[in-house]
Amino acid sequence: MIRRVGAGAAVVATALVLATTHGFAQGQRGRGPRWFKTNLHSHTINSDGDSTPYDLFAWYRRNGWNVLVITDHNILTDTAPMQANGQLGALVIQGEEITNEKNVHVNGIGVHTFVPPATGTITEILQTCIDRIRAAGGIPLINHPNWKFTIGVKDLLPLKNTGLLEIMSGYNLMNEYGDGRDVPSMEEAWDQLLTSGVRFWAVAVDDTHNLRQEFLPNRGNPGQAWVWVRAEALTEQAILSALSSGDFYASTGVELTELTATASSLTVDVKDNPDTRQRVVFIGKGGRVLQTSFDKPARYNFKGDEGYVRARVEDSGGWRAWTQPVFLK
């Protein structure tokens, strides 16, 4: 587990180690913390998806996911009838995508009471949603900021009590790579926020809408992006606790076999893929590349002036993984 303390304090870390295999069954074995494949953003026929909650949950469970959060637009889809399936290795968590004016969308992960939309400036809408989600016992996730190029870094900088930030979506209309001119990529925006002292944990999501239709690049199909959550048990409380503390990494296909943070270093190892090659890029304050490594495992030794250290794993097949930042003095 990585334990992070307030700004200006030294990082305090103990070992964070992944099991050597992932997958649906992996979440069921052994005692102690385990890793659960999780989608934090999905829709059903209760809003603008094309499948029932049961069918959507069945697809994810059948294809190796451990946790699905259903986040219909301004609707709390009832997940209680499906909770018993948690005993079979999968869990569905109730959520809501708070869909506001100005194309501002915020997921409430784990909310069990309806959270109404907000009005105001973009920053005011975001802060109101964050506050309402927190009051409802959930975790706020700011969705697809670059969709329609709606939410800029300037809108995010004043926010307080932040949570999760969507930096990658399986829905290809979300402009995660920016416009190459005025709008940064979402990963670059994340670094700008971290550098300015605004702390978000970064996530990758499917934003699932289309399950029954043909899978096409311009549709919100499942199985594109997710997070691996390290939790004590496959329960809503344990998953939400891990998400709150940053005990997870985001991925579009890369799997890690080791992720270890100590007081002196960050170590990352990648599951072998016989068809591709990988490298690990360690990144610090300002988005500065600190080190690029092809070693297995890859290790970065802290120097103390990096501000924070995170890793991006790049696969030659185009897949990526992003670890959460370790904050340094």
Query: What pLDDT digit, counting tens, does each position of 284-299 carry?
Result: 999 999 999 999 999 9
For the chain, the average pLDDT equals 89
Gap between the Cα atoms of 96 and 92, Å rounded = 13
Contact status, residue 140 vs residue 130, Cβ threshold 8 Å = yes
Q: How many other C-beta atoms are found inside a 10 Å radius of the C-beta of residue 305?
A: 9
The answer to whether 321 and 251 have CB atoms below 8 angstroms apart is yes
Average pLDDT over residues 190-216: 91
CA distances from 253 to 31, 243, 273, 319, 328 (A): 26, 19, 11, 5, 29
- Omega cis (within 30) before 274: no
Which two structure tokens, joined as six digits, stand for 23?
């997958």
Examine the pLDDT at 15 and tell me if it is beyond 70: no
DSSP letters along 12-43, please?
Answer: EE------S--STGGGGSSSS-EEEEEE--B-
pTM of the model: 0.90
| Pick from 217, 281, 301, 222: nearest CA to 39 | 222
- Domains with residue ranges and CATH for the chain: 1-22+258-329 (2.60.40), 23-254 (3.20.20.140)
Bridge partners, 227 (sequence order): 38, 250
Looking at residue 18, what is its pLDDT?
Answer: 41
